[in-house]
Structure formats: C-alpha cells, structure tokens
Amino acid sequence: MGGRDLTDPPPDRLPTAPPPHADGLPDREALRRFITESAGRVGKREISRAFGLGPQHKAALRALLRDLALEGTLVPAGAKRFRASSALPEATVVQVTGTDPDGDPVARPVAWDGDGPAPVVFMHPEQKGRPALAPGERVVARLKRLGPGRYEGRTLRRLTDAPGRIVGLFRPTPATGDAPPHLGAEAGRVIPADKRSKAEWIVPAAETLGAEGDEIVIAEPLPQAGPGLKSARIVERLGRMGDPRSVSLLAIHTHGIPDAFPAEALAEAERARGVSAAGREDLRAVPLITIDGADARDFDDAVYAEPDGDGFRLIVAIADVAHYVRPGSALDREAQRRGNSVYFPDRVVPMLPEALSNGWCSLRPGEDRGCLFAEIHIDASGTKTRHRFGRGIMRSAARLTYDQAQQADEADPGESENGSALPDGLITTLFAAWRALSTARARRGTLDLDLPERLVRFDPQGRIASIDPRPRYDSHRLIEEFMVLANVAAAEELDRRRRPCLYRIHAPPSPERAEAMRDSLSTLGYDLPPVGTMRARDLDAVLDRASGTDAAGLVNETILRAQSQAEYSPDNIGHFGLALPAYAHFTSPIRRYADLMVHRALVGMGTTPPDGLPAADAARLDEIGAQVSATERRAALAERETTERYVAAWLGEQVGCECDGHVSGVTRFGLFVTLTQTGATGLVPLSTLSDDVWMYDESTQTLRARPPHGQQGGMRFQLAQKVTVRLVEATPVTGGLLFALAGPQAPARRDPAARGPRRPRGARPR
C-alpha cells in the first residue's frame, strides 16, 4: 500500500544496525540485539532495511528468524513480526503451582507481564531436612534456562512464613514401605485437588490425624530430600467428599479464600443502625424496585423509570455501603482483604458480614435504607443526555425475581402487571427504556458473548438434584443495561470533576492472541479484520453470524479465550468489550470493594465527610486496583472449579452413560468434548480412538485417521463437530472427566497385543 504500517516502530526509533557478515546476513547475536533495542515489533522489512539486505537474502533471513524463534530467543508478535523474548532474570520470585508426576514442585514467576502464558519453572528438591515446597509457597529462585518458556529453579530463600499447604482427598493404602524409613510405614496418600499437581503425597501412619477414606484434608510437607514422592502430615480434616457443601469447602481452602470474619469486624457490623433522612434526598415516595435471582439474599440495586418527553428519566439507587464501612475500620480492612464476595452453588462467602450484606445494606421491600443514586435522562434512541448523583433515603416498593419481571412484561396489555402496589405501567416503562438503551448499545458496537452458565440444583438433603443451563431473559439484560449506564455516569462524573477513580478497564486482545483467534475462527469459516484494526463490533458480527448454529458455543469460547482480562486501575484506557471510553464499577458495593472506592470518591466531592475517599487511599489506588483484580480472578477460578467438581460428582453416578456434545478442542493427544446438557468438558484420549494412524493438522485444528492397507476415507474430527461420547471416568476431587466415543463414531478395536505403540504423525515421542 506504500505507507508505513501503524504497528511499525517509527523510523527514528530503530537502532543503528552493525555491518552484516560477508554473506550479507547479520550474525545471530547482532540480529537479537537489534530486535531487543527496537521499540515495538520488528519484521523482515525493518531488518532488511537496517542491514542492507536484498531479495537474494529473503529465504536465508526467514530461516534465521525461524531458528531464533524455535530456540526462544525471539517470540512471534503478530503476522510475520517478532520481538525479543522476555527472558527471566537469573534470580526471581516464583510461586509453586503444583507438582510434576515425580512429585517435584512446578512454579511460575510471580511478576510476569509478557505475552502468552508465564514460563514454567521446574524446581529442584529442597535440601535434606527441609520440607518440600507445596502449592502456594513463594521463594526466591536461581533460574537456569532450559528452552523456550522452561526454566530450572533452585531455592535461594523462602518468602512464605507458614509452610505450604496441600488440599486434597485422603485415600488409605495398605502398608507398602514407600514412605521414607525414618517416617515409618505409609498409611495413605493425599490426592491434590489442584489439577496442576500431578503427584500424590505420602502420609505416614503417625501423621494421619485420624483421617478416614475419602475425607477432604489439609496437609503440610514433611522434611525430606531426594527423589520420589514427598511425604506430608495431615493438619486439618474438612469432611467427606460426598457430604453436602464439601465441594465448595474444598475450593475455599484450596484458594485460601477468607471465610471467617475477625471479631472486631463482626462487632462493628452488629452496631450498625438505620440512616436518618437528615441531609439526604427523600426518595421514599418513588416506587423503586429490586429485580434479582430467586435465591438472592442481598439486594444492593433498585431501579425506576418514567417517560420524559420522547425519552425516559431513570433512577438507579445503590445501597449506601460507604455510610457503614468507614475508611480504616476493621470492616474496611477485611473488605479490602477479601476484595469481593465469592458465589458458590451452595453458599456465598460474603465481602461484608451478614448484618450488613443481608441487613442494613440490603434494599428490602418496605424498609427505609440509605442509598447513593444516579438520576439519568436518556432520549428515545437511548443516548444519555444528562445525569446527577445524590445521597438519599429510599424504601423499595417491591422485590421481583427475573422470572416475575419477565412474566409481567409478557402479560396481556389489559392485565395489571403485578396485582400489587406497584403503579400500572412501571414494568412496561422499564422495559421500554431498556429497549432504547439496547439500541444505543448496538449502535456503539459492543462484544456480547453468550456463555451459558450452569445452574446446580440441590434437594432438601443437600445432594445434587440436577445441573441445567441457567435461563437468561430480557429481564436479566434490563438490569445489566441499567447498571452499565449508571457505571458510565459514575466514571464520567469523577473524570469531569477530576476526582481519583478506580476505573474498570479492558484492553483489546494482544496481537498474539488476536492472531490466534483469527486463525481458529477461520477454520470454522469466520473471517476477521487484520490484527490492529479489529474492534469489538467486528467480533460481535461474528457472534451474530454464529448464533443458532452448531458452532455458536465454540465461537463464543474462542473469542472469550482471546480477550485480555478486565481489571481495576486508576489509569483509564477505556473498556474494549463495552466499547466505552470510561467505565467504573458503582453498582455493587456490597460485594465488590472497587465499587465502594467509587462510592467514596463520589461522596467526597465538594466536602470531606468521614466516609469519603481518604487522600492516602487515593494515592494508592494502583495498589488497591491490583489487589482487588487479583481477588476477583481468585474468586472466578474458585467458582469455576467448584462447578466443575459438582458436575463431576453428579456425573460420577452415571459412569457409562452416553451424552451428546461437540468437539471444543483438538490436540495431538486427543479431543476435548463439551457436553450439550451440562456444559462440562472432558478428554477423549487418543489411545481410545481406532488403531489407525492419526494425523494432527494444527493449521486446520483437525485430527484425521489414515486407514491401514491403503483404504480410502477414515474418521476425521474438527472443531464444533457434533459427537456422542460415553462417560468413562469422573474425578470429583479435581473435576476431571474422561470420555470415549460412542455411537456411529465409536472405534473398532483390534487385538491390543497386535498393536504397537502409535502416535500422531509429526508428534515427537516424549
């Protein structure tokens, strides 16, 4: 096209290249140094220009760049471009994440800001007499590079005060003598709950704490040196794996989620009382309503809408948590430590004690409650025309579930919407305002992923009754759109007044992830614009095309995996997914500490009340943002793993059943299949397929069988392909599932004794 690519580094920022070798090509070190010193990503064009290379060097330069990428000196950075590999320093802080099959610890660097997954660090066993490293421990390690993304580590100094913990399932075993001689006979083993831990831990007879089979336990490593499985002592028993509520308890302890409040924080919550109307705007005559799930217990947002000319006047009222949780208090310290509430199928680990979260900060119908509110005006097209914030006192007119709100919207026009004290037309007006906001959202071009959630239902005894897709109605979207609007208004208000703000930011996908997403979607027949020009509306157009097709679920998952993680930061870069220049969480201060910080900033505008944002906290918003972003990721992982374990526990009683699903991943070692009914994903190992020679094509994400004896045809598997599988194994402690193909695609097996070892063509033996 003639012009410089916007992703190219500016010419005046390219370093001066040394003279090339006699054959014209730069040597490897000169090329590595040139790319390292260049700003941004570098391609063959910049290298050729800097070293004076011509067309005759094209093939040799391509081979040299490929070799440097394979050895890890360079890493790909988009189409035909490279950057220097982010090598770790010789000594760095790492955190143990699991164990390898031999029981040796595997770690990841704590500080990793490179693209792609963090490097893997294989730690040496500890010195004789010291406990083995356990998941969660942090150490300063001396590193030696083994290859791309792989390091060998030796402990220089332990940073964690307490010994590492292993959370898992205790299984008694006959005495085998496997335990180290000085520890006595083996009484059992702990099977780690974390999938990243590949080895079991031996429990000597004197260290079981009386644990029985299939109990969830917490164990600590025992001093031991040398190879082989490590030993541990049980320090706490949490109950049997099959007991009600044991699955979520497993996640709580695995991830170290605080689930007991300090006595001082509980006492502060118990002393809380209702607010006075003095100094507050009285909204008690406004019929604000809450709309939540049927099982919700904390109601922190209420909504109202009325016609306003051609548009609407909306009010979003949020519980005034800042009135009760004062900066520096015991409640504040504990809320910041937790970061957010954690929601499991059978329990909630709240950010605030129940006296607040289900009491004074819950907008119960018919009870006076303090609130912060946003009054927002929109026109007929859903565009916000103005807003204002205030501190008020309100009285919720009704508590509706999503089902009830949806039914009211779908009722005959002549019927009363609810048969209660609600004014006729309120629900209709709320939905009309939502439809206007939806029009504005579509015009903006946002990323609307449709990722079905799984709803775990229990019987009165606490056993799993069913697992079904969670229904999603327009009433859900109504509340989401009202909350987004209020969050935008909060960010704009603080930005306009130049007040400190903890923004909710979402960066676009990295060039590497975006390119990988483009490749994956192209195999499904969906095209995207080039990396660097991609917008949220482009991704949403693909989602629209895929909607209702067999590939819809996989397309949603593929786009989700490519996204950067949203986080909290005082530095505003906008929100890519929502296509918004400024966004802040304001609507859930009961369950998110970030929202409480936004409330304090809004409360403190123009005055300095004791519940406003202190200057000291404003100065450390970057630190607070990083901390609550981390607790949010911890909660999301714990919630996802718990659902996976519940699904595995439920399916564990149905081993041998056949289920419909689709291929959601293709690898050299088998197929990942996602079940249609439960959304659970498991592995169909290559070893369970037919005895054909299997060829894996990474570019098309396919696995194809080459039939023996020159026959034509053969099975072929690709992404989104519908399959029927038979459940072979379910492991509730890890949530793992193993499948085998069933139905017409089930393999015809020959005599195993006549079959030699086999692997997909092109795969290297490990």
Series of mean pLDDT values for 10-residue runs along the chain (766 residues)? 33 45 70 68 79 83 72 53 64 85 85 71 83 84 84 88 82 65 75 85 91 91 77 90 84 90 97 94 96 87 96 98 96 96 93 95 95 97 96 96 92 52 87 97 91 85 85 94 97 94 92 86 90 90 90 88 90 93 96 96 72 88 92 92 91 91 89 89 89 80 72 74 92 91 67 37 35
* Domain assignment present for 413: no
Domain that holds residue 24: 11-84
Same domain, 609 and 688: no
Number of Cα atoms under 13 Å in the Cβ half of residue 560: 11
* Domain assignment present for 395: yes
Tokens 């954690």, residue located = 342
Residues 525-533: contacts with CB under 8 Å, at least 24 apart: 526/555, 530/79, 531/7, 531/78, 531/79, 532/5, 532/6, 532/7, 532/78
Report the pLDDT value the prediction gives residue 7, as an integer from 0 to 100.
29
Of the residues 84, 117, 132, which one is the last residue of a structural domain? 84
How many domains would you assign to the chain? 5
* Domain assignment present for 294: yes
* Domain assignment present for 245: no
Same domain, 373 and 471: yes
Report the pLDDT value the prediction gives residue 440, as an integer from 0 to 100.
95
CB 337 within 8 A of CB 258: yes
Nearest-10 Cα torsion for 752, 756, 762, 766: 100
Backbone angles phi, psi at 226, to 5 degrees: 95, 175
Residues 6+ apart with CB under 8 A from 203: 170, 186, 187, 188, 189, 190, 211, 219, 231, 232, 233, 234
Same domain, 115 and 75: no
Would you put residue 136 in left (φ > 0), alpha (ψ -120 to 50) or beta? left
Backbone angles phi, psi at 692, to 5 degrees: -70, 165
Same domain, 485 and 377: yes
Q: What is the pTM of this model?
A: 0.78
Same domain, 462 and 373: yes
Same domain, 590 and 678: no
DSSP bridge partners of 316: 303, 374
CB atoms < 10 A from the CB of 262, how many?
Answer: 15
Same domain, 169 and 206: yes
How far is residue 14 CA from its own chain's centroid?
A: 37
* Domain assignment present for 250: no
The three-state secondary structure class of 479 is: helix
**Beta sheet of 232-240, edge-to-edge order:** 201-204, 186-192, 166-172, 215-221, 232-240
Same domain, 289 and 401: yes
Same domain, 156 and 33: no
DSSP bridge partners of 392: 281, 371
Same domain, 73 and 97: no
The three-state secondary structure class of 520 is: helix
Same domain, 335 and 482: yes
CA dist 61 → 31, 79, 373 (Å): 10, 16, 62
Q: Which amino acid would we find at residue 287?
A: P
Q: Which secondary structure element, helix H or strand E, spans residue 519, and what is its range?
A: helix 511-523
Same domain, 385 and 496: yes
Report the pLDDT value the prediction gives residue 435, as an integer from 0 to 100.
97
CATH code at position 135: 2.40.50.140
Both tokens of 375, joined, read 């009054």
- What distance in Å separates the CA atoms of residue 191 and residue 101, rounded to the nearest whole number? 12
